[in-house]
């Protein structure tokens, strides 16, 4: 396919590189000066959208996505697919899909899970909202960039799945860090704590796969001084999106709200910015009851 890729940062760059390595013709654009192996970098978003079979966006937020969509939709050929892999609010995803449909395009919202490592290795998970026909068109690309793509329903449902998933992730990481900090104070060895909880009812992805305790469990950012695989400020962004969606849907999410408040404090008032979201463990380990 001829692919236009807009947003060649830490996530988009490796994704575009993997598509090019698989033999697709990839033209890219980013507001920063970047070089991506196999990707022909152009001067504007409309340049890469013109004539493309699929235009992929990986952008920081909904406001930027809306602006880019307004630029590229008129440049895209009828029947092409606008595939957004950003994490944005559900309303923006649905509005972009409506604008695309009005112009004779198909649109997918397909946020990802797996972080920078998953983008680099091509092992991302895609949560996809939009038409089944568009999903089938994009499926070969998902298979290159990731290990799994789940069609979640109509436009916006990919974003809904992403924020619900990350609300679970944020809350479980916090309680996992709290439990390790409590184990420390009770004199329980961290390895013993892991060996018990990871094979009993306390197990979770946050514990078993991404353990926040250095030297315990599989390799994780905790073993690299909490340099981010998934930055705390990105977790905060997703928790804010989840809370906004809950307010709009009149859903009661007290643990999601508590997780948002804790990450907000961690990022904006403490030392969480620029650290992995699992760096909540040293935060709790250094504190008493307040």
Report the catalytic residues.
162
CA 119 – CA 15 distance, rounded (Å): 6
CA 150 – CA 126 distance, rounded (Å): 6
Sign of CA dihedral 87, 90, 94, 96: negative
Q: What is the CA radius of gyration of the chain?
A: 20
| Token pair for 199 | 């094979």
| Token pair for 78 | 């009828």
Pairing assessment for the beta strands 106-109 and 124-130 based on DSSP bridges = antiparallel
Measured torsion, CA atoms of residues 152, 158, 161, 162, in degrees rounded to the nearest 10: 150
């Amino acid at each position: 396919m001829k692919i236009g890729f807009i947003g060649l940062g830490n996530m988009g760059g490796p994704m575009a590189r993997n598509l090019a390595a698989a033999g697709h013709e990839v033209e890219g654009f980013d507001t920063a000066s970047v070089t991506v192996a196999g990707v022909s970098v152009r001067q504007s978003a409309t340049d890469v959208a013109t004539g493309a079979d699929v235009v992929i966006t990986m952008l920081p937020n909904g406001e930027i996505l809306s602006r880019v969509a307004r630029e590229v939709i008129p440049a895209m050929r009828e029947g092409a697919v606008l595939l957004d892999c950003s994490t944005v609010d559900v309303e923006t995803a649905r509005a972009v899909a409506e604008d695309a449909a009005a112009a004779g395009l198909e649109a997918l919202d397909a946020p990802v899970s797996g972080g920078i490592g998953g983008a680099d290795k091509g092992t991302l998970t895609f949560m996809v909202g939009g038409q089944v026909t568009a999903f089938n068109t994009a499926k070969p690309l998902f298979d290159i960039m990731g290990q799994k793509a789940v069609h979640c329903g109509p436009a916006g449902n990919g974003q809904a799945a992403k924020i619900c998933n990350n609300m679970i992730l944020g809350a479980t990481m916090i309680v996992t860090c709290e439990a390790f900090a409590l184990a420390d104070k009770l004199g329980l060895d961290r390895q013993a704590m892991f060996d018990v909880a990871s094979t009993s009812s306390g197990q979770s992805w946050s514990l078993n796969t991404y353990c926040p305790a250095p030297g315990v469990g599989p390799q994780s950012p905790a073993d690299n001084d909490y340099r981010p695989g998934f930055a705390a400020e990105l977790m905060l962004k997703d928790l804010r999106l989840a809370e906004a969606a809950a307010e709009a849907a009149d859903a009661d999410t007290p643990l999601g709200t508590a997780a948002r408040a804790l990450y907000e404090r961690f990022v904006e008032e403490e030392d969480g910015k620029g650290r992995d979201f699992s760096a909540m463990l040293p935060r709790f380990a250094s504190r008493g009851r307040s």
